[in-house]
Structure 1
Amino acid sequence: MAPRKYQQVLRAEAAEETRRRILDAVGQCLREAPTEQPSLGRVAELAKVSRSTIYADFGSRSGLFDAFVVDLWERTGLGELGRAVGATDAREHLREGIRAASRMKGGELAVYRVLHAMDRLDPESAGGAVRHMETDRRAGVQSLAEHLEREGELREGLTVDEAVDALWVLTSFESLDLLVTGRTHTVDEAADILVDMAERAVCRTPGAPAASSRGA
């Protein structure tokens, strides 16, 4: 490798290592002080960089939290969730989608809990990162309800909008967290409970005829 190219590779690796330390520092702040908003000064201290380095890499506090959430998704199971929601069978879409999303959140339960709490108390504190997560979840729930409707799997008399409402509650972080922390279930147990509740709430009983309006 030519010396110039080699130096470029080294710089790229150093930049990626710095970025990794900064993102890890955000997670450390959220775990160590869940009741406090993580300051850029504390993040910089933990990552052993200057605040100006954070701004240079991420542009703003909002950009830092957006990048942190994307990294969090990727580390905790975004790929698995993508495969689950791509299922051609609507019931499989529901079951595996809820299980994958639950495992994804359960992998960093404390971090997701702090992010959601920050968004409830001060929507600007996390730079809109949680709202971006919830926008994606809203689209996913809508897609699932429509998939169930197309395959005639919705409970008789239930509209797509009503199914979306039920699924919105059952796929929320709060529903998972209540079962894990309030009822001391494991993440997998909680996921199975949520799957069962979702099927009972929105799906027709197995063996029952599909509504005539389905798929029309």
Structure 2
Amino acid sequence: MATRKYDQRLRADAAEQTRRRILDAVYQRLREEPAEPVSVERIAAMAQVSRSTVYLVFGSRAGLFDALGDDLRRRGGFDRPADGEADARRGLLHSIRASVPLFAEHRPVLRALYSMAALDPQAVGGVVERMGSDRAAGLAWHAERLAKQDVLAPGITAAEATHLLWAVTGFEFFDQLYTGRGLPADEVADLMVTAAERLVLQRY
């Protein structure tokens, strides 16, 4: 029985290593050649596995990109529950600031995904849409907490706060400042926090 469990663990570890190699190959491909189509054949060659292995692990090309989106969320900590911050204002601003290192580290990958979603919606559109849906749900959660603690700016509803936060906390807004204006990540984080504060929060 012990030998069988050991063998099962070895197989599971090998499968996870294969999965990781394939995902790392996608990251590398998007960083190095973001304007080029991502083919399963090319990813398989880079990961040193067969094309059929990629399909076996991820099911489809769309499944491969879905897994990439999940991996990005895990790397950024967005798959973890809220940290229990009681103060809604601090919780929102911490969340905004925490997203910036992920955006900066994976900027070429995220930019490529957003661009590819328009050109290849069948394979890539789903992951971008799901990332957007998750972000919208998170912002709505923050806005409701702000409303319950009565710290929204006068005349701003939770729904309106969600819309405004959507505009100034996402990757596109980050990239306009980080790439378009050439600002360092920490300064971009400060500006994103300031924009959110001035748009939706009460002034002290």
TM-score range relative to shorter protein: over 0.9
Aligned pairs for 1:119-158 (under 5 A) are: 119-126=117-124, 128-158=126-156
* SS of the residue 1:42 aligns to: helix
- Select the residue among 165, 177, 180 that pairs with 2:178: 180
Paired residues of 1:76 and 1:108 also in contact (CA < 8 A): no
Using a 3 Å threshold, how does the CA distance of structure 1 residues 140 and 78 change in structure 2: closer, same or farther? closer
Is 1:168 aligned to residue 177 of structure 2? no
Paired residues of 2:44 and 2:51 also in contact (CA < 8 A): yes
Q: CA deviation at 1:68?
A: 1.3
Q: CA deviation at 1:120?
A: 3.2
- In the comparison of the two structures, how many residue pairs are matched? 204
- Which structure 2 segments of 5+ residues have no match? none
Residue equivalent to 1:212: none
* SS of the residue 2:53 aligns to: helix
- Select the residue among 72, 92, 98 that pairs with 2:90: 92
Paired residues of 1:65 and 1:126 also in contact (CA < 8 A): yes
Q: CA deviation at 1:2?
A: 4.1
TM-score (norm 2): 0.92
Please report the RMSD computed on the Cα atoms of aligned residues, expressed in angstroms. 1.8
Q: Radius of gyration: which is bigger?
A: 1
Residue equivalent to 1:42: 42
Deviations 1:110-149 (A, max 9, x none): 1111111112333223151111110000001111111111
TM-score (norm 1): 0.87
Identify, as 1 or 2, the structure richer in helix.
2
Deviations 1:138-162 (A, max 9, x none): 0011111111111111111112222
